[in-house]
Amino acid sequence: MKYDVLVLGAGAVGAMIARNLSRYELKVAVLEKENDVGNVTSMANSAIVHSGYDPVPGTNKAKFNVLGNKMFDEIADDLDVHFSRCGSLTVALYDEQLKILDDLAKRSKENGVEVKILSKEELLAMEPNINPEAKGALFAPTAGIIDPFNLVVHAMENAVDNGVELYLNEEVVDIKKDNQDIKVITRSGKEYIAKIVINATGLASEKITNLVEETDWHITPRKGEYFVLDHYKRGLVNHTIFPLPSEKGKGILVTMTTSNNYLCGPSSESINELDDFSCDGPTLANVRASALEMVPSIPFNQAIRCFAGLRATCTRHDFVIEFAKTLPNFIILGGIESPGLVSSPAIGKYVVEEMVGKLVELKEKSNYNPRVKRYIRPKELSLEERNELIKNNPTYAHILCSCEQVSEGEMLDALSRSVPPRSVKAMKKRVRAGFGKCQGGFCQPHVVNLLAKHYHLSPLDIPYDSINSKIIIARLKEGK
């Protein structure tokens, strides 16, 4: 199989690169080692569209954060993804921290980001539940929240709709020069040949680059643990609430989500393993204490789960975006940690137009469509619209997930798309079945049966996540 461009990795950055490549008359494929797109770092993060006030001016982080933030209104509309510019507040809890707010405001100006320093009274008027001892805050109105799961899924769907080929469960094990091209070999034994290869493998970016040349940088996984609170009521916070940033990152935040849940986290611990997504009691206790210091009324009795995500922290302390020194048609993206999600559209545009465009001619397709087919979301319809929908398609009246009120029709729609869910977790990310208070306790059997029916498989063959993560291992009793 030969391609003009081969993208390794289908997280937020890989998906945005693929979508930008699909605009042009190029033969493009994406290889992803997981059983779904956006299934590692892009799935387990704070889902924040950062304003860009925090990165060091002049860095790739600052450049692409600010550019990416400006793109999100159009991106969210084109890709039919929930997005809200709710703004962020970086809170000074003590008098001695007010000087740091001034420093952050100066950095914001250098980065071209609109901010305002708020007095204690202004802060409390905007956030009545904030710690009453807080001294002030930095308000960044352009910050927002996004649905990170469907941002990646819909970006890749749009790329595939425009001609990109997606191959899941294809882990890269070797890369070789093949005359003027590059040969990529996967664990399945398949070989993919391309004029250009783009390494967007996130946590594995150092490992994959070392198949081509030795890096002068190193990736250390940084684990962040979170609490998820049920969407029990609105107004606990009205913005994303940050503490002052430190050398470990932006700190433990409190924010609402586009699904009206609340997140508290993340912690920030350097680890050695690339697949350690465990949570532990002492770390979560620290997350809880830090969150309560900012918002004392957080009802942690409404927590419905915890989770951990990993970020690819680089020794350069910046995004690595460059050509390989020994193989100039190999493009390297490394250390894309926070603010990677908000930066992904701008990185995707830059890599295609400024890097791929130097290696091959970019001829725009006449039939390129930047928009996905609109998704039907019954909960967002009026009663009259919903009744009409159900009249025409009764599957939208068949609720399979009671907690999140997700219908069979929404699941069937997801299965009809060009990047359909192939596991229980993949369905969960697309339509939120299993995200509610029971965490899939009641709806999971329905999802398993629906996937089995769609793919003409036994329920025993339906995985929770990876192809080997079987939910049902045997039948206790065969029905007549």
**Residues designated as active site:** 50
Rounded to the nearest 10 degrees, the angle between the axes of helix 60-79 and helix 340-350 is: 90
Instruction: Tokens for 24, please give them.
Output: 């042009």
Q: Burial letters for 103-131: b for 16+ Cβ neighbours within 10 Å, e otherwise? A: ebbebbeebebebebbebeebbebbebbb
Separation of alpha carbons 230 and 211, rounded Å: 44
| Contact assessment for residue 8 and residue 208, using Cβ atoms and an 8 Å cutoff | yes
Separation of alpha carbons 313 and 339, rounded Å: 11
CA distances from 215 to 8, 46, 202, 323, 439 (A): 17, 29, 15, 12, 42
Angle at 14 between CA 421 and CA 27, to 5 degrees: 90
Separation of alpha carbons 205 and 219, rounded Å: 8
Based on C-alpha coordinates, what's the Rg of the chain? 23
Amino acid 454 reads H
Amino acid 95 reads D
Dihedral angle, C-alpha 157, 162, 168, 171, nearest 10 °: -120
The SS3 assignment for 171 reads: coil
Considering only CA atoms, which of 300, 279, 280 is closest in space to residue 290? 300
Strands (E), 10-132: 28-31, 48-49, 83-84, 88-92, 116-119
